[in-house]
Amino acid sequence: MFPPAPVRAQASYLARFTMEKKSFLVGEPVFCTFSIQNTGSRPFAFRYRIPTRIVNPGLESEPRFSVRDATGKKLADPAPRRCGGAKGTAVYGSVSLPPGQVHTERWLINQWARFRRPGKFRLRAERRLPLLGLDAAQLQFTGAPIAYALAVDDITIEVAPATHDALRAAFQPYERALDKPGTEGFPEAFVAITTLPHDFFLASLSALAAATAGERRWNREQALEGLARLGTPAAWEAILRIAAGRPASTSGAALPESPAKDDAVRSTAVLLLAERGDPKFVPAILALLPEASEALRGDALRALGFFQDPRANQALFEWLHTAATNDRVNAILGLRNLQSKDAIPALIAMLNDPEAPVRQVANFALQNLTGQSFALSGTAPAAESSRLQGQWHGWWRERGATFKPLQQPPCRDW
C-alpha cells in the first residue's frame, strides 16, 4: 500500500489589479489594489509583506508597474540608484487563504512613476505570485509552489490639475491616520506622505524621522527620505539636525529624545546630505567625526567624497593617517567617491600601509577609479603590496598627465 501523496491539484483563484477611482489630482496618492480570491475547495498560502516598493526587480512575487502617457512614453521612475547603494530588505510573512476568502493589498503607484502633469495615462500592472498547497498527509503547506497566481491588467488613469486646497483635502484621510500609528491605515498613510511630501507635512515628517529609538512601528529612514523629497530649506535643516544628533521640531522645541545613539538614522541623514551635495552641510559632518561611533564615522567619511568640497577633501586626506584601521579604510573609500585624479597619488601611497585590509581597499579604489586590473591577493604580504605599488607608480608616471577618472552614474537628484 502506497503512503498518502501530497495534494497536486492546481489552485483555483481570481487575481487582478483595480483602481479605487478613475481620476486623481496631480500630487495625490495613486493607489492600485491587488486582490486574490480563493475560488477553489482547498486552502492555499503565499508570502506577504507590507506593500511598499523594494528596488529589486528580481524578487519573486513582487508586483511590476509601469505607466505610459498618451504618446506611449514611459513616466520617469522616482527610485534610481543611490550614492551609497541600495539599503533595506523585505520581511515576509505567510498568508493562508481558505476557500471563498479574499486577500487585498494597496500599492502606491507613485513609487514607480512620477505624475507631474495632468492627462490620461496607461498603467500596466503585473504579478506572478507563487501559491503553496496543503499537504493532506502532513497537514502543512507544501514547500514548493503548486501554482502561480498570474495577474496582468492594463488600466487607464486620469490625472487632473490640483490646487493647494484640493490637495490638502485629498490628504486629510492620511493625516488623520498618521495620528494613530497602531491602526490599520497608518502604513499606507506613511508611504503616501513620504513618497509625495507637501509643505503641510513638514512637522509630521520631522517628528516621524526623529522618533525615539524604541519606536519601531515605522521606518524612520524612510521618513528622512520624505524630508529630502520635500526639499525645502526647512526640510534639509531637519535632516541636518538629525545627522548631528540634535533634532528639534520645526517650531524650535526639543523633541522627546535625540537619536544621538541611533547610528542607522544618523547615517541615513548623512548620506542624504551628501547626495544633496550642498557645501553648507560640510561643517556639520566634519564636526560629528570626533564624537561619532566607528560605524557612523565610517559612513560620514565615505559620504564626504560626494560633496566635491575642498574642506571635505582635506579631511579625507588627513584621516588617511589616523591610527584606526577602519578609519583609514573609510577615508580611502571617501577619496574614491571623490572621483578625482587628485586622489590617485595618496591612494598609491596607501599601498604601503602596515595593515593588509587597508592595502586591499586602496588597490580596490585605484582599480575602481582607473579601470586598471592590477591584482592583489587576499592575503598579500607587505612585499607583494610594495611590488604592486611600483606598478601603480609606473602607470601614474606614464598616464597621470592625461588621465581622467572613470565617472559613476549620477546619484538620485534631491
Using CA atoms, how far residue 39 sits from 13, 96, 100, 127, 207, in Å, is 5, 14, 6, 18, 44
For the chain, which residues make up each domain, given as ranges? 13-162, 165-276, 289-409
pLDDT for position 393: 93
Q: pLDDT value at position 388? A: 92
How does pLDDT run across 150-180, given as a tens digit for each residue?
Answer: 999 999 999 999 999 999 999 999 999 988 8
Q: Hey, what's the cell of 333?
A: 573609500
The residues, any chain, with a CB within 8 Å of residue 45's CB and separated by 6 or more, are 94, 95, 96, 97, 131, 132, 134, 141
Tell me the three cell numbers of residue 13.
483563484
- Which CATH architecture does the domain made up of 13-162 adopt? Sandwich (2.60)
Homologous superfamily of domain range 289-409: Leucine-rich Repeat Variant (1.25.10.10)
Predicted confidence at residue 381, as pLDDT, reads 80
pLDDT at 4: 39
Determine which of 48-57, 321-330, 358-367 has the lowest per-residue pLDDT on average.
48-57
Picking from 111, 135, 133, 84, the residue whose alpha carbon sits closest to that of residue 272 is 84
Distance between start and end Cα atoms, the chain: 68
Per-residue model confidence (pLDDT) at position 93: 84
Convert the pLDDT of each residue in 206-239 to its tens digit: 999 988 766 656 888 899 999 999 999 999 999 9
| Cα torsion angle, 225, 230, 236, 238, sign | negative
pLDDT(251) > 70: no
**Identity (one letter) of the amino acid at 68?**
R
- Give the pLDDT confidence of 175-211 residue by residue, as tens digits: 999 888 778 889 899 999 999 999 999 999 999 998 8
Residue-wise pLDDT tens digits, 258-279: 444 588 899 999 999 999 999 9
Calculate mean pLDDT across residues 27-45.
95
Nearest to residue 364, comparing CAs of 333, 407, 343, 387? 333
Higher pLDDT, 7 or 103: 103
What does the pLDDT read at residue 382? 81
Task: Give 54 or 284, the one with higher predicted confidence.
Answer: 284
Is pLDDT of 110 > 90? yes
**Percentage of residues in the chain having pLDDT higher than 90:** 64
Where is pLDDT greater, at 137 or 104? 104
Q: Supply the pLDDT for residue 411.
A: 67
